[in-house]
A and B are shown apart, each in its own frame.
Chain A
Amino acid sequence: AQSVTQLGSHVSVSEGALVLLRCNYSSSVPPYLFWYVQYPNQGLQLLLKYTSAATLVKGINDFEAEFKKSETSFHLTKPSAHMSDAAEYFCAVSDRRSQGNLIFGKGTKLSVKP
């Protein structure tokens, strides 16, 4: 069975500071991993994905995430937070053997202080 744990339901950073959102996964098979973002009153938008190529994955808006198999982690980072990054972020895992469903973490709300 697969599962995702996102540490911290709320994270607050100052504008210009490093953003670090944590995600740990559990999977009995090699996973595909995703980060999605939901801005207020919008749907989920794919930020980036890991599908077994490079372990350091770059996404939109300068976000990146590193797949660490030994730590079963896929943390999301951004060097410098912008006010427009305020949103809810979701980590998700799926089984690479199929085009099956995504299993989501509970989400982390990111606040950016001026």
Chain B
Amino acid sequence: EAGVTQFPSHSVIEKGQTVTLRCDPISGHDNLYWYRRVMGKEIKFLLHFVKESKQDESGMPNNRFLAERTGGTYSTLKVQPAELEDSGVYFCASSPRREATNAYEQYFGPGTRLTVT
């Protein structure tokens, strides 16, 4: 079974540019999460999809961030326009539906390291 994959692994962009990060969850996982770790800080929650619906987006920093999960499969996280403080590692995670025995286990991807210069 393939794990959670993220693309790209690294991205270096200039302030003001747009970047789109992609996450492919484990096949069949209804829940998809985005997290971010800014250097020196803890990993922080951004948002949670259940299938294609946003369950919780309380962690999104501001309206420069837009997440989508069309069709309930892969998800994208767009940052437009990027600012210096957006630099960090963006993690995606997925978990099975509530009825599964391992429903509360989140499986993480390798992350995308975003550098805004």
**Could you list which residues of chain B lie within 8 angstroms of chain A, going by C-beta atoms?**
3-4, 31, 33, 35, 41-45, 48, 50, 55-56, 59, 91, 93, 95, 98, 103-111
* Residues of chain A lying within 8 A (CB to CB) of residue B44: 104
Cα A101 to Cα B60 with chains together (Å): 13
Chain A's interface: helix, strand, loop or mixed, by majority?
A: loop
What is the bound-complex CA distance between A93 and B19, given in angstroms?
A: 30
Min CB gap B103→A, angstroms: 6
Q: Is the CB of A101 within 8 A of B41?
A: no
Question: Is B43 in contact with A90, judged by CB distance below 8 angstroms?
Answer: yes
Contact A43 B48 (CB under 8 A): no
* Docked complex Cα distance between A102 and B44 (Å): 8
Q: How many residues of A contact B (CB 8 A)?
A: 22
The CA-CA distance from A46 to B103 in the complex, in Å, is 13
Q: How far is the CA of A45 from the CA of B91 in the complex (A)?
A: 12
User: Could you name 14 residue pairs across A and B whose Cβ atoms are closer than 8 Å?
Assistant: A36-B108, A42-B110, A43-B110, A45-B108, A46-B106, A51-B104, A99-B48, A99-B50, A101-B33, A101-B56, A102-B35, A104-B35, A104-B43, A105-B42
User: Which A residues contact B (CB, under 8 angstroms)?
Assistant: 32, 36, 41-46, 49, 51, 90, 94, 96, 99-107
Closest Cβ neighbor of A6 among chain B residues:
B42
Assembled-state Cα–Cα distance A107/B108 (Å) = 16
- Once the chains are docked, how many angstroms separate the CA of A44 from the CA of B55? 23
Nearest neighbor of A103 in chain B, beta-carbon distance: B45
Chain A residues closer than 8 Å to B3, beta-carbon distance? 43
Q: Which residue of B lies closest to A96 (CB)?
A: B104
Asked if A49 and B104 make an inter-chain contact with CB atoms under 8 angstroms apart, the answer reads yes
Q: A49-B104, A104-B42 are in contact. List 10 more A-B contacts (CB 8 A).
A: A36-B108, A43-B110, A46-B106, A46-B107, A96-B104, A99-B31, A99-B50, A99-B95, A100-B55, A101-B56
